[in-house]
Structure 1
Amino acid sequence: MNRSIRSARKIVPVLEKSGFFDGSWYLDTYPDVRAAGMDPALHYLLHGADEDRDPCRWFSTAGYKRDFPELQRSAENPLIHYLRCNQASKKAASSIERGKTILAHNGDGIPKVFHSVWLSGEEAPGPLRLGVESFSKLHPDFEIRRWSLGDLDDDSTQFLREAIQQKKWAFATDYIRLKILYEYGGVYADGDVSFYSRLDKYLGYSSVLCWETNFAIGPHFLMSRPKNKIIGRLLDVYRMRSLYLGDMLDLTPMPVIVTWILTTEFGLRLDGSKQDLGDSNIVESENVFTTNFNNNNTCIAEHLYYGGWTLEHGGSYKDALVDIAARWTSENASPNARWRKLISTTGMEWSYYFLKSAEVAFPAIAELPELERFRALKTKFLGGSFVRHRAILKAVEAANPLRTVSQWHRKPQTKTESHIPERKSSSDLDAATELILKRDGYKVNVVVPIYNVKDYLVRCLKSIQAQTYVNFEALLIDDGSTDGSSAIARAMCETDPRFKYFYKPNGGLGDARNFSIQHLNSDAVTFVDSDDFLSSDHLEKLEAKFHQGHDLAICGFHQTTPDGRIVESRELAKYWGEDDPIIHALVSQYECYAWNKMYLTETFTKNEKARYSLGWFEDLALTPALISCSRNLAFVDSKTYNYVQRPGSILANARKNIQRNIEIFDSLEMLRRHQDRIPEQYWKVYMDWMAPRHYFYWRVVAILNEKSHGVRVAAASEFAQKLNSTVPNWFSSPYIDKFIREPADMQQRLRREMLVNAFKANDLAFYAYIRDLREFGF
């Protein structure tokens, strides 16, 4: 027996007893190992680690190799290295027992960075240095990043500048903590948070929040990955806020705002329990952070509430929280709580805790003119009657702290800084920031290229006319229609002045879009194909993102039959789960389409290269570049665009007029004009993964589907020549490697490898002998 195999067999029991190797999961994840009949632990030791396979769902082999590059020289197995190092440092491997916790070395986890913010310019008192000191002692492997005012000189956010001017350092820090976590990820804690245990088991989540009381989220401690959606939503709120409220200050505390957002938008229950908000975002139990004040071993961190948190009656804020927690627990041992145990649904639990705690959590509720309406719902629900979730939110919507400031939170301005600072002029701001400062709706141009779609055009135009967002102007670009579409378009313009008609000779879809640019007179623009149709809130949902400072918005869509029946739905905001929204958009497989997106108008009017190609695949020539160059891209969590697949569409014709598939290379060449403006990492992602999917996979499928051998061979040969001359090393891309290895069936893998080699060598005989695309797993 080979010596390396004998050595590996001796280590197998160590791996199996470590708690870090899950043999069943390994075989399910890597079916080729199961098919080979090999022991999973032995396979990982001999081959799996070298192939970057993971021993369990909680350990990333590739991520660990990145953390310890010396393993490339020593060739030691990453998991064995982790176990050996932990044993040497007396860190029990059983700390992640039976795979219930996520290992720190997860390549996609929360970065090992601790952020500390101190802004006043004076030295921080000892108690406010406790957070950094206690954390660094427990986490020597984390980077400590300290933030001061000097790091924020280039940030012109209104709320931040107003807070600094008023020397409201805590409120300035509210914004800063969200910004740094959204941009960099990591761990944030206030200076007076004392840590008692390591945070390794939380590093695999997308975000971790904690309670301040049983009914308020405490932002004194936050963890998140970069570009986390919850942190991003909260950051958008602060980008829209103003500290000034007439001659007063809006000092609504961050816990009120965060709790409102999580409760009304993410389904948080106001009960102090550990909760899953979806997509690996959690709120940890109040017994783990803060309120039990290290009374048992479950407490990881304690907020000491040092400094100005002293109540008028002389007691400390911390003591008040203890009293609140005790009173809340007592109240929930009452008959009402016993009744609540009969509740069977999560929605009813949400209603119970909201009705019980909302008046304390959100002070503005007590000031509502309709307060009795809210209390009547509370009495009705606690009396045993059903109350709809929507009815409760409707009753308190006027207390939204983003729109209504409670009297408790209105405070006088600092006397020496009583004026409201002037905004920067629009010439000093970039376009996205200027949009943040606007309060009225932005004018939107809706561009509709039209060519021989009379059977679909009325539905399309009516769906635009029915939009809930009314500040738009639709530009109907008649691209030389001959079927009666022109009369339909003109009739709509005669009945609704928001629709404008333009005629041009036929030049194709890209030419029609390019023609419209000279007629744009708006803040934002979106494109609608004339055979598609919109949900009534399409413009409203997209336009709202520009109020939050975004410069490009993308929505999900339904793929429908011509009669409107839904075939498939794509919710792109959740499709791939990439933390970087630009990469997320680029790899969505629908990144090239011009529709389902809204752009700043100046994206086209101030960039002469921002034009579509004139042949087929016109979107591919531009849209990936617009995504890659976005400064602040946003997804809309709704499917508001309806993409109709009809027999005469360009996509359908691409499968019939197979000679025109070669035009994709013209679009690819046109896309290369933007390479100097696209950040290198985005260009590489697109050219390595998505471009080959378009210029190879989809085009090859269309060509090889041709039944006529002669036509198929001629088209494939012409395509191969263009492919090899335009993209010389196409066969070396990561996508092609994945394309070959993707099928589970070994025979299909071999056939795909032969297919790639055939197009590489332009093997005409291979094209001719293809009988059925199923032999390739298509």
Structure 2
Amino acid sequence: MNAPSSPLITVIIPVYNVEEYVEKCLTSVLAQTYAHLEVLVVDDGSTDDSASICQRIANQDSRVSLIRKHNQGQAVARNVALEKARGNYIAFADADDWLEPDMLSSLLNITLQQECDIAVCAYNLCKENRAIILGQAPVSKLSSQEATLELFKDRWLNNFVWNKLFKRELFEDIKFPAGCYFEEIPIMYKLFQRSSCVAFTKYAGYNYRIRRNSTIGSRRISTELDSCENHIRRYNNIIHTKPDLEHALWSPLVRCFLHTVYISMQNSLSEQRTSRTRRKLISTFINKNRSRYKKHLGLIERSACRLMECNTWMTDLVLFAWAIASKVLNKLH
């Protein structure tokens, strides 16, 4: 697998003020059992010692290149690296996470074996010395359309780029949108649609660290708004070209929307202004899509929307009840 004729994998790592974690991340990438790598580290204007740590490692290993730029956000950093990438395949890592030694080898193997353009592994969610395995697929392979539908359900298949391996050509004319959180949402379904198929392994090859001041660890109403808007924009884009998917995709969209807003409620129960923003967001969503949710939703989501439509002050209570009902039903299934 490591012969010169083997495919080159480009690993893209945006870096911003992660001096405490970045060396572990880079060490785990360079220790991969699949060694034919190009590692593009993009320092996005760090103000700590992150860049100097990366430069020291780059001086020690010729596979690592450090790109320095002023701060524009993770999406732009990833786009800059994509323009410079020489690999046949593209992988991503967040600078505060780390990879298991066989992650890239495992993903490349199933990509070649299944003759797919994208491979996905499970991952460990790591928080305060505890880890749980998530994203274990119940299948080994899905067609492009099957994978897209599963992506919308947002269950075991998610929009994260860091637990996947992509063929380089999939990114032609596709860029991460700058200036928003969860920038993977608007592009992942496009990559899936371009792929011949998507392969899966239950191997948990990636370790995702939850930090208090990371994007996920410090989710605020602004990040939830970005997430909701990205989900809605993705839905509108796909049914514009494939209107026959409207019924299949609408219910997962609403469940994802309600779940996202519920997460914001959990993270900001004491903030009155945030509660008002949340109620306004849901009210606007329901009013704009009244005909759709009556036509395409199941009983639980339809009832939740109806109650919040009648009385927006019941929003938090309804979201809480909906979350409990959804968990019970998921266990029954």
Contact 1:554-1:635 at 8 Å conserved across structures: yes
Structure 1 pair 600–726 and aligned structure 2 pair: CA distance change class (3 A) = farther
| Match in the other structure for 1:737 | 298
* 2:315 is aligned with 1:773: no
For 1:511, the aligned partner's letter is: V
* 2:18 is aligned with 1:457: no
| Match in the other structure for 2:12 | 447
Contact 1:476-1:502 at 8 Å conserved across structures: yes
| Match in the other structure for 1:214 | none
The CA deviation string for residues 643-677 of structure 1, in whole angstroms up to 9 with x for no partner, is 222212211222xx224321224423653585279
Structure 1 pair 562–672 and aligned structure 2 pair: CA distance change class (3 A) = same
Q: Return the alpha-carbon distance in structure 2 between the equivalents of residues 472 and 757 of structure 1.
A: 53
Structure 1 pair 771–482 and aligned structure 2 pair: CA distance change class (3 A) = farther
The CA deviation string for residues 621-646 of structure 1, in whole angstroms up to 9 with x for no partner, is 11123223321221124111112222
| Match in the other structure for 1:694 | 256
Contact 1:469-1:537 at 8 Å conserved across structures: yes
Please give the residue correspondences for 1:571-650 in structure 2 after superposition, counting only pairs within 5 Å. Answer: 571-574=136-139, 582=147, 583-584=149-150, 586-587=152-153, 589=155, 590-604=157-171, 606=172, 608-650=173-215
Determine which structure has more spread, i.e. the larger CA radius of gyration.
1
Deviation at 1:473, TM superposition (A): 0.5
Contact 1:573-1:636 at 8 Å conserved across structures: no
Structure 1 pair 683–458 and aligned structure 2 pair: CA distance change class (3 A) = farther
The structure richer in strand per residue is 2
| Match in the other structure for 1:714 | 276
* 2:108 is aligned with 1:547: no
| Match in the other structure for 1:485 | 50
The CA deviation string for residues 224-273 of structure 1, in whole angstroms up to 9 with x for no partner, is xxxxxxxxxxxxxxxxxxxxxxxxxxxxxxxxxxxxxxxxxxxxxxxxxx
Deviation at 1:551, TM superposition (A): 0.8
Structure 1 pair 550–717 and aligned structure 2 pair: CA distance change class (3 A) = same
Q: Return the alpha-carbon distance in structure 2 between the equivalents of residues 633 and 677 of structure 1.
A: 23
| Candidates 515, 520, 524, aligned match of 2:85 | 520
- The structure, 1 or 2, with the larger RCO (C-alpha pairs under 8 Å, 6+ apart) is 2
Q: Secondary structure at the match of 1:494?
A: helix
Structure 1 pair 613–673 and aligned structure 2 pair: CA distance change class (3 A) = farther
For 2:252, the aligned partner's letter is: M
Q: Return the alpha-carbon distance in structure 1 between the equivalents of residues 239 and 321 of structure 2.
A: 41
Q: Return the alpha-carbon distance in structure 2 between the equivalents of residues 484 and 617 of structure 1.
A: 26
User: TM-score scaled to structure 1, two decimals?
Assistant: 0.37
Q: Return the alpha-carbon distance in structure 2 between the equivalents of residues 677 and 496 of structure 1.
A: 47
Contact 1:692-1:730 at 8 Å conserved across structures: no
| Match in the other structure for 1:760 | 309
Deviation at 1:539, TM superposition (A): 0.8
Q: Return the alpha-carbon distance in structure 2 between the equivalents of residues 647 and 453 of structure 1.
A: 13
Please give the residue correspondences for 1:152-191 in structure 2 after superposition, counting only pairs within 5 Å. Answer: none
Q: Secondary structure at the match of 2:218?
A: helix
Deviation at 1:580, TM superposition (A): 7.7
The CA deviation string for residues 154-199 of structure 1, in whole angstroms up to 9 with x for no partner, is xxxxxxxxxxxxxxxxxxxxxxxxxxxxxxxxxxxxxxxxxxxxxx
| Match in the other structure for 1:474 | 39
For 1:554, the aligned partner's letter is: V
Total equivalences in the alignment: 320
User: TM-score scaled to structure 2, two decimals?
Assistant: 0.81
Please give the residue correspondences for 1:391-540 in structure 2 after superposition, counting only pairs within 5 Å. Answer: 440-540=5-105
For 1:616, the aligned partner's letter is: Y
| Candidates 127, 143, 148, aligned match of 1:561 | 127
Q: Return the alpha-carbon distance in structure 2 between the equivalents of residues 559 and 649 of structure 1.
A: 14
The CA deviation string for residues 501-523 of structure 1, in whole angstroms up to 9 with x for no partner, is 11222222222222222111111
Structure 1 pair 725–665 and aligned structure 2 pair: CA distance change class (3 A) = farther
* 2:227 is aligned with 1:664: yes
| Match in the other structure for 2:331 | none
Please give the residue correspondences for 1:125-136 in structure 2 after superposition, counting only pairs within 5 Å. Answer: none
For 2:98, the aligned partner's letter is: F
The CA deviation string for residues 65-89 of structure 1, in whole angstroms up to 9 with x for no partner, is xxxxxxxxxxxxxxxxxxxxxxxxx
Deviation at 1:524, TM superposition (A): 0.7
The CA deviation string for residues 539-580 of structure 1, in whole angstroms up to 9 with x for no partner, is 1111123433211111111212254x3233432245999998
| Match in the other structure for 1:268 | none
Q: Return the alpha-carbon distance in structure 2 between the equivalents of residues 725 and 578 of structure 1.
A: 35
**What's the C-alpha RMSD, in Å, of the aligned pairs?**
3.5
Q: Return the alpha-carbon distance in structure 2 between the equivalents of residues 581 and 665 of structure 1.
A: 23
Contact 1:621-1:667 at 8 Å conserved across structures: yes
Q: Secondary structure at the match of 1:718?
A: helix
Contact 2:258-2:319 at 8 Å conserved across structures: no
Contact 2:269-2:275 at 8 Å conserved across structures: no
Q: Return the alpha-carbon distance in structure 1 between the equivalents of residues 260 and 205 of structure 2.
A: 26
Q: Return the alpha-carbon distance in structure 2 between the equivalents of residues 551 and 757 of structure 1.
A: 42
Q: Return the alpha-carbon distance in structure 2 between the equivalents of residues 671 and 697 of structure 1.
A: 17
Q: Secondary structure at the match of 2:189?
A: helix
Structure 1 pair 466–680 and aligned structure 2 pair: CA distance change class (3 A) = farther
Q: Return the alpha-carbon distance in structure 1 between the equivalents of residues 217 and 179 of structure 2.
A: 18
For 1:702, the aligned partner's letter is: S
Q: Return the alpha-carbon distance in structure 2 between the equivalents of residues 723 and 460 of structure 1.
A: 40
Q: Secondary structure at the match of 1:675?
A: helix
For 1:662, the aligned partner's letter is: L
Q: Secondary structure at the match of 2:269?
A: coil
Structure 1 pair 474–775 and aligned structure 2 pair: CA distance change class (3 A) = closer
Q: Return the alpha-carbon distance in structure 2 between the equivalents of residues 584 and 537 of structure 1.
A: 26
Please give the residue correspondences for 1:78-157 in structure 2 after superposition, counting only pairs within 5 Å. Answer: none
Contact 2:286-2:309 at 8 Å conserved across structures: yes
The CA deviation string for residues 738-765 of structure 1, in whole angstroms up to 9 with x for no partner, is 6449xxxxxxxxxxx3x4235435x443
Contact 2:13-2:94 at 8 Å conserved across structures: yes
Q: Return the alpha-carbon distance in structure 2 between the equivalents of residues 719 and 631 of structure 1.
A: 37
- Give ranges in structure 1 of 5+ residues lacking alignment: 1-438, 742-752
Deviation at 1:538, TM superposition (A): 0.8
Deviation at 1:682, TM superposition (A): 6.1
